[in-house]
Amino acid sequence: MIDSHCHLDFNCFDHDRAQILENCSKLSINTIVLPGTQASQWQKQIDLCNLFPQLRFALGVHPYFLQHFDSSHLVKLTHLLEHYQNKVVALGEIGLDTHIDVDWQLQKYVFEQQLTIAKEQQLPVILHHRNSHNELIRILKTTQFSQGGVVHAFSGSLQEAQTYIDLGFKIGVGGGITYPRANKTRKTIAQLPLYTLVLETDAPDMPIMGKQGQRNSPEYLPDIFESLLALRKETRHELLQACSKNVRDSLLLA
């Protein structure tokens, strides 16, 4: 199993990261992707991936972390992506979020700049969204972005998901689907083509049902898988195989 989105580089895992990874191995979670969030965190992600072979990294500037943003970060990002072109799996996570108190024009600027870098370096992207599908899709279309990637923690309608799929993206399935009240998203995920689904935890965020208020962990990836299996028609084996293959088809894991 592959956790396609997990912030295991965050400080809240510093005291027990090795133990968590050992537990993950026992659960057959063999690959975990660490998405980038801000410039000050990139070196730590790279160091951790050197230390633990099951970890892989993406680099990028997440809209949440723009308070310390400086345009030199985009230069640094470009250089690091070039330097680690055989190791980096994507540019991300990047995107737009209407629920945070971060200047909208700045969010759009940093997102578009990173899309340009991804185009130049032929990298897929990991997309963050919150109440921002329309604008994300508009920008992806107007910039003719064609490298694809993953729409992380997808929530939304079948039509929205289909638009991303048509643009070459896979759909990130996270802990949200463990909540029966997430009706619309569960219905969407149940109907999507099998080749579009990838699993993720987004740990330490997005705790699964029953673990609200606790630190989320990649160890809960099998719980998300069970919820997905219950929504789908495929057998356990088919779904497991497809979810891993889909990550390899969208991020540069080879």
Minimum CB separation of residue 152 from Zn ion in Å reads: 6
Select from 179, 161, 168 the least CA-distant residue to 125: 168
Count residues near Zn ion (CB under 5 A). Answer: 1
Q: Annotate each residue in 181-220 with x if it binds Zn ion (CB under 5 A) or - if it does not, as one string.
A: ---------------------x------------------
Minimum CB separation of residue 7 from Zn ion in Å reads: 6
Q: Which is nearer to Zn ion, 160 or 202 (CB)?
A: 202
Task: Give CA–CA dist 168/240, Å, rounded.
Answer: 21
Residue 219 preceded by cis peptide, ω within 30? no
Q: Which is nearer to Zn ion, 67 or 86 (CB)?
A: 67
Q: Which helix (H) or strand (E) holds 110?
A: helix 104-120
Minimum CB separation of residue 104 from Zn ion in Å reads: 20
Q: Which is nearer to Zn ion, 9 or 202 (CB)?
A: 202
Asked if 1 and 221 touch (Cβ cutoff 8 Å), the reply is: yes
C-beta nearest to Zn ion: residue = 202
Residue 124 preceded by cis peptide, ω within 30? no
Q: Which is nearer to Zn ion, 202 or 219 (CB)?
A: 202
Select from 163, 39, 224 the least CA-distant residue to 216: 224
Minimum CB separation of residue 125 from Zn ion in Å reads: 13
Task: Give CA–CA dist 62/168, Å, rounded.
Answer: 21
Minimum CB separation of residue 236 from Zn ion in Å reads: 27
- List contacts with Zn ion (CB under 5 A): 202
